[in-house]
Amino acid sequence: MSTTNCLSPQAAQTFIEALPHNIRAAVLAYAVETDYPVEAVLEMAIAFFLDMDCAGFGDCRTESPGQMLAQIELLQAQQQDR
């Protein structure tokens, strides 16, 4: 299996076929509506799930929600110490 920075059309097709019908239909409709390849729509959906402020995988943070919560708590504690 080759690794690249982008989801291949073949991998996207396999992934799409495994999705529940309503999600598959929404992804395909969005791809048609925006004229984006299905693989790009899938990548954006996953990236958005991981980081709601990102536009794609390139600017997606990969910290877990637990790591992010710990960082927030640390920042709040530092702010209170001021």
Q: Quote the number of domains for the chain.
A: 1
> Which residue, 53, 54, 26, 58, is CA-closest to 42?
26
Q: Is residue 2 part of a domain?
A: no
Predicted confidence band of residue 65 (pLDDT cuts 50, 70, 90): low
H helices within the chain, ranges in order? 9-18, 21-34, 38-50, 65-81
Q: Is residue 1 part of a domain?
A: no
Residue-level pLDDT at 16: 93
Average pLDDT over residues 14-19: 93
Q: Is residue 64 part of a domain?
A: yes
pLDDT at 64 over 70: no
User: How far is it, in rounded angstroms, from Cα 57 to Cα 42?
Assistant: 11
Tens digit of each residue's pLDDT (9 = 90 or more) over 44-56: 888 888 777 766 5
Q: Is residue 3 part of a domain?
A: no
Q: Is residue 4 part of a domain?
A: no
Range of the domain at 19: 9-81
Residue predicted with more confidence, 50 or 65: 50
Does this model's pTM top 0.75? My answer is: no
